[in-house]
Amino acid sequence: MTGTKRSVLSKPQTIPKKEAGKLLPWVHRSISNAKRMLLDVHHRIDDDFLQNYLNAYVYKLNRRYFDNIFDRLLVAAVSYRWNDLGETCG
């Protein structure tokens, strides 16, 4: 890490509850939607299955804008990066 990144990451801030939705709107919306799904759909949440419930929520969240398989394939192909040697770099 460079000195600049380290200094930014090492200064935690407390955000008042009233400003949380304004500063991090997608995070706030995702957490509230996950809580609503857990309370409405699953009714009773066991610790043994909590990770499975959260995995199902994230799966649905990541695929909410893809209507068909062609759209997903197109986005994956366009966003794939190659380095100069033709090897994939992630």
86 assigned to some structural domain:
no
90 assigned to some structural domain:
no
**Residue 40: domain span:** 16-79
Using CA atoms, how far residue 53 sits from 15, 60, 66, 84, in Å, is: 28, 11, 21, 41
63 assigned to some structural domain:
yes
24 assigned to some structural domain:
yes
The better pLDDT of the pair 22, 6 is held by 22
Question: Mean per-residue pLDDT for 49-74?
Answer: 83
84 assigned to some structural domain:
no
How far is 62 from 54, CA to CA, in rounded Å? Answer: 12
Read off the pLDDT band of 1 (50, 70, 90): very low
Q: How many domains does the chain have?
A: 1
Q: What is this structure's pTM?
A: 0.51
22 assigned to some structural domain:
yes
6 assigned to some structural domain:
no
